[in-house]
A = this chain, B = another copy of it.
Amino acid sequence: MGVMVINEHNFSGKPVRYYFDADFAQLEQIVPKEQSILLTDEHVYTLHRQRFTGWRTIVIPAGEQHKQQSTIDTIIRQLIEQEADRKSILIGIGGGVVTDMAGYAASIYMRGISFGFVPTSILAMVDAAIGGKNGVDVGVYKNLAGTIRQPDFLFYDYSFLQTLPQAEWVNGFAEVIKHACIKDRGLFELLQQHTIGTLQNNPALLHEMIERNAAIKTAVVLNDERETGERRLLNFGHTLGHAIENLYALPHGHAVSIGMAAACTISEEIAGFASAEKQAVLELLQQYGLPVSFGYDKAKAFDLLKMDKKRERDAVHYILLKQTGEAFIQPIGLTQLQDLFVQVL
């Protein structure tokens, strides 16, 4: 364990503390144990049971299929049973599903209590736990209900990654590659020189890469917390991705990877994105174990995509690439988008 590194960023005037390279045992130094309630899922709890000793803990079933209001209802009932009050702090310990639901439950319980996150997956560390978006799916509609509210802190203990299943490493790198595509050509080139395996064997580089990605996400959100502009760039790959993810119960990273490949094709078709660059993106995705195509039902996916939060009236704000490391927002009319679906995807 290294020395815990603390950064602080102000979102809408609210400070969010980032504890990098921390050890779970230090958690009780930053939150009063008697006011805290931990929220985790069965996977994390089973693998790390001893870490929860002495903490009040709510354990929810694992998996995206449980990211629904019914699970929030259960969490709320358990908070009532624990006699949680307005001064209680809810701490979500897990991947993106856990942090999304912990943030949401804390945002509505008694009209909002404090919360913090201990992200345990690559995906949560570089993306999901950062930026204050929380919520649940409504049936197949991804993240349709939720709020935007910032945690008090993010607490990174990299040792959780030792028990992360290989499939979740792959999922996490979809968002890392996304950051590279939209914001950081240097990161893209660094990723080209590695694989998940070589990064797992080089913890120092891995941790540095996680912090670099956390910084990318944080900077974008700081510029545009309410997602009126730049933050939309983070939706690269997510428009089609969200449409097919729950329809086919795909892993989030796989769905986003297929969505990024499709967005590259649309970028090539209507935004002059170079064919060689598109090819490089597809190769990098595959180098990290991610799929770039999938035989989905285009009509069904398009129907779902129309309900995407990025739609405004008759246009979807699609995220495209000008070049690797530089994304932009392109409103595409529903009719044109349907044509693109039929003709080029």
Interface residues of A (CB under 8 A from B): 69, 73, 76-77, 80, 83, 85-87, 107-112, 133, 135, 138, 141, 143-148, 306-307, 309, 311-313
Contacts and interface: CB of A to CB of B under 8 A. Distances in A.
A221 to B, nearest CB: 13
B76 A145 contact: yes
Given A80-B307, A111-B143, A111-B147, 13 more contacts: A76-B138, A77-B138, A83-B306, A85-B309, A85-B312, A87-B312, A107-B147, A108-B108, A108-B135, A110-B144, A111-B135, A111-B309, A147-B147
Contacts of A148: 111-112
A309 B86 contact: yes
Interface secondary structure of A, over-half rule: mixed
16 contacts: A69-B69, A76-B138, A76-B144, A80-B138, A85-B312, A86-B311, A87-B313, A108-B146, A109-B145, A110-B144, A110-B145, A110-B309, A111-B146, A111-B147, A112-B148, A147-B147
B313 A144 contact: no
B108 A145 contact: yes
Contacts of A146: 108, 111
